[in-house]
Structure 1
Amino acid sequence: MQSDSENRITMNDYINNIPKLVGIDLETTGCSFSDRIVEVALIQYEYGKETLKFVERVNPGIPIPEVVTRIHGISDNDVKDKPAFSQYADKVLNIITDAVILGYNVMFDFNVLSHEMVRCGKGFLDPKKWVFLDPFVIWKKHDPKNLESAYKYFCKKEHNNPHNALSDIVVTLEVFKSQMEIYNDMPSNYMELGTYCYPKDESWVCSSYHFVYNDNGDIVCNFGKNKRVLLTKLVKEQRTFCDWIVCKDFPEDVKALVKKAMNGEVLPKKEIVIE
């Protein structure tokens, strides 16, 4: 009788038996499926051997938000002279056709890619035609990131009353205390710890990057075609754009700011300190 270790499938067993495996990773203008690609990378393997490597930066046709640039390091200037994704669409499509696709949180990349294919006339990519391998999903299934699993991991206890609000708070506090004891690289005070959990950009007017203070302390748009345009100018010349913000799924404080500007109310102004 074979042991568990003898029965266990190794990674090479998986990789070496796949006729065509394509690893994919995209850098984009944001975290929505409708965002644009700024860099596409693909590596093709045939029965475990690398046979092709493809990586290109592309001009997304829209500004890259500064908050996104800080994550992947690709700025508008880096891609301003690059071709549009449409120039590579056929090559990318050829590489992924009949392939098993591997990626970390791969369905995000695949959906962004599908949207790009539609935009350049290649049509919708039906995910039913592909097999996807995703280490992120495997990790979540083996180590789910919910309060119950956190309580078990950090406190070595079972959460016997999950989704009861009061019980969840007590358990959350226990998890927090255990984390502070286990992780020795945490900030020493709660204000710094708050910034560690949810970093704040001093240039943001609201809770998100959509509007920022410029060098003069005035509020400007920080995304899309109206990036760097004064909010006071937007409400006069781009009323439809402002209406769109108010009606769409933006943070409530962003909507409130735009409404305030549309009503002609006095907007906050950042004090500029001259040293």
Structure 2
Amino acid sequence: MNLNLKNPIAFIDLETTGINVAKDRIVEICIVKVNPNGDEEVKTYRVNPEMHIPAHASAVHGIKDEDVKDEPTFKELGKTIAKCLEGCDLAGYNSNRFDFPLLAEEFLRADIDFDMRKRKFVDVQTIFHKMEQRTLTAAYRFYCNKELEGAHGAEADTKATYEVLKSQLDKYDSLENDIDFLAKFSSQNKNADFAGFIIIDEKGIERFNFGKNKGKTVEEVLEQQPGYYGWVMNSDFPLYTKKILTEIKLRGFNK
């Protein structure tokens, strides 16, 4: 089943130096852009992360320091990637918890204004886990009846994710071929930030989702605990989380 699209949708997979959204960097990115008329574009970029690629990361994706030492940095590639994603909804595998938060961090570090909040996000892994609970390789075998060659390469994983989503739509009558529906279905919580440190409750109010203030409204905490904002800003939280917290704080000044 082909996707029923109102906007282009970009399937994205990142290979990185590790799994820490705030600290790690992209070493490879693949984008499979699907247009409403069904045309597909595939772009894959190797990226110099400007840091050492640990051996445990190289063991997963096979990319080592020497493979990317002469490649452009994300700051150099960022505007090209942002232009490619302009007007697109976004999709991936485990992307709501990892790929999109890390991509947002890279854009912020590169001083590129790319508003992720205007997008709809479809996480194929979440759909899979709600339906079957497997890995991407097993999902590809289960839904597409194929073996995933080149697993943990950005392009192979991205193309497999796209194929899995189309097959999920074929398999499950309860899934609507609509990006609005799939974005809602594949979300775990409604997050204000990507990492889920700040969530939005059913009334549209931002609340902290961690630590001693878990469940409390952000505005309440900022008002009653003036030092908490500074603690977050000086701690190892993602840049995007800090950006959202700052926006809420500034909004409070304007009330």
TM-score by length of 2: 0.49
TM-score by length of 1: 0.45
